[in-house]
Structure 1
């Protein structure tokens, strides 16, 4: 791709999200969403491969439908209340339409079927962008309208996403699909945080982005597209695979790693609100996700393919993991800042 075209697309991708993040009017927010979607489509389709074209087409159709629903809900709200302000979403029908539209954009269950297929048809870099940067704009709209959203709908979406993503991810062998279902499960926890405490949402989202970028970076450097590839990656760099193991365990939410912090705070918030049954259910629903994270960890660290030579490492190895450590350190070692995060979310 031409460098000028590439720079224009990346600038438009960033500008679209920033417009939505800083907008106060529904029309400006919609323009930001559309600019964001139109900018990433050529990036996804530049591989000139049928899978890439299919992924870009599915992504376009899904995002276009969701944006149309958002525009329809905002117009309906303006018709009944006379307000175009994002924070004044008061019409019940508009609230429901908007919630389902943002759920479709985020890939929440039951509007999640497009997400794993798009992730599988994209490159690892594009999959990382779709899982992180592309979720900021719809999440910012949810954050701005959180006081008017139906809490029961949000909690139901959260429970369904955590359940379905954990169970469906068990029989996946492609790393990008596993990361897709991991993202859906984390979006479920994020939606629950949004329903309980809006400030906790920012902390959860920040940690999710750091952990996801770290995991995709390790997959990119090790060129691991399937679970089998992870077993072969040890000869490339043992240090890199060790960092991969820590990142996977952090995504699983195991203490004393960073990923445990948001789950701990969300369960604490539910317990304080006397939602003990819901807290227990959410904690149990993390077990299927934990299983496939541990399976990936086992394949990456505990297994090694038969080597035809006497050495276990590649000849003239060129380490490529120096930049990766900058994201992995905060992704795994932020648990001690929980007291600070607790004060910020109160």
Structure 2
């Protein structure tokens, strides 16, 4: 049954991003929602029913605003083929609400706290594809989108400082990356796709470790790190790659985005984004330093062969990725 819902989930996203009319886009989003709710309830966690209801109410609220923007455009201009400026503002706000971008993020961290790690991976990655592509359809680099970018990066950095929950830290990190991806939607869509793929790879690396050892908070993380030096090294290499420190793979797309922004005379926005990202980077480095100074015991941890191969292959791609890409001529 879960496989069927996964297929419907992907179909809903594909319908939304390939539709020719706004109504079909809305239908695709609703199909995606109806497929994800049973996956939330299949977690068998204490908060599954509560989380599914919260997620349903938030997504339905976003869908209501989307329909309202269509009706408003129909009343004002007699057509919904092209949304007017007021309808575009409402539509984009509803899409950012569905995506979980700040300042519409009030539901995002609470819902992620009650999900399993596999559903968190879906919510942080696949569930962002359709909303982001829909925003691209009527994206213009104006004060509204600049405020969305800066507020997302500011709030994600500030709210991460006192967090002890690993799930909430990952959720706030996802909001930070929404800001980076939003900054390049209109300027270079292929660069957005490249950034999203790198973000997907790093997130999978981290979530594999979190899911395997059932890590929920920082204390669980420190206990895991004391069991295996190799796991500790790979984990923190992925973590600082997520923050965008060279020479790791996560630095490359951010470098390219900053280059694109400056080429399009958005130097001030690029500078502010770098400064705001340092707050999130501080959180990653704090986790890394606190764990590294704790004495490590060499207790053997046994992996299944395919798990060992998958985890270490993904990690080596992440570690050597920047070197490989810089050797490829004319990548950008």
TM over 0.5: yes
Q: CA contact under 8 A between 1:154 and 1:195: conserved in structure 2?
A: no
Structure 1: give runs of 5+ residues left out of the alignment: none
Partners of 2:30 and 2:266 lie apart in 1 by 38
Q: CA contact under 8 A between 1:233 and 1:300: conserved in structure 2?
A: no
Matches of residues 42-53 of structure 1 in structure 2 within 5 Å?
42-53=38-49
The Cα offsets for residues 119-152 of structure 1, whole Å up to 9 and x where unpaired, read as 1011111111110111111111112333xx4522
Matches of residues 58-207 of structure 1 in structure 2 within 5 Å?
58-81=54-77, 83-85=79-81, 88-89=82-83, 91-146=84-139, 149=140, 151-207=142-198
TM-score, reference length from structure 2: 0.91
Taking a change above 3 Å as real, the CA distance of residues 152 and 200 of structure 1, as seen in their structure-2 partners, is farther
Deviation (angstroms), 1:82: 5.2
Deviation (angstroms), 1:176: 0.5
Taking a change above 3 Å as real, the CA distance of residues 223 and 199 of structure 1, as seen in their structure-2 partners, is same
Taking a change above 3 Å as real, the CA distance of residues 25 and 236 of structure 1, as seen in their structure-2 partners, is farther
The partner residue of 1:10 within 2, 6, 23 is 6
Q: Give the equivalent residue in structure 2 for 1:334.
A: 321
Q: CA contact under 8 A between 1:234 and 1:304: conserved in structure 2?
A: no
The partner residue of 1:317 within 280, 302, 325 is 302
Deviation (angstroms), 1:16: 1.0
Q: Give the equivalent residue in structure 1 for 2:25.
A: 29
Deviation (angstroms), 1:246: 1.0
Taking a change above 3 Å as real, the CA distance of residues 342 and 216 of structure 1, as seen in their structure-2 partners, is farther
Partners of 2:197 and 2:16 lie apart in 1 by 18
SS at match of 1:334: helix
SS at match of 1:324: helix
Q: CA contact under 8 A between 1:162 and 1:285: conserved in structure 2?
A: yes
TM-score, reference length from structure 1: 0.87
Q: How many residues align?
A: 329
Q: Give the equivalent residue in structure 2 for 1:257.
A: 248
Taking a change above 3 Å as real, the CA distance of residues 259 and 201 of structure 1, as seen in their structure-2 partners, is same
* 1:272 to 2:263 alignment: yes
What's the C-alpha RMSD, in Å, of the aligned pairs? 2.3
Deviation (angstroms), 1:339: 8.2
Q: CA contact under 8 A between 2:19 and 2:25: conserved in structure 1?
A: yes
Taking a change above 3 Å as real, the CA distance of residues 130 and 188 of structure 1, as seen in their structure-2 partners, is same
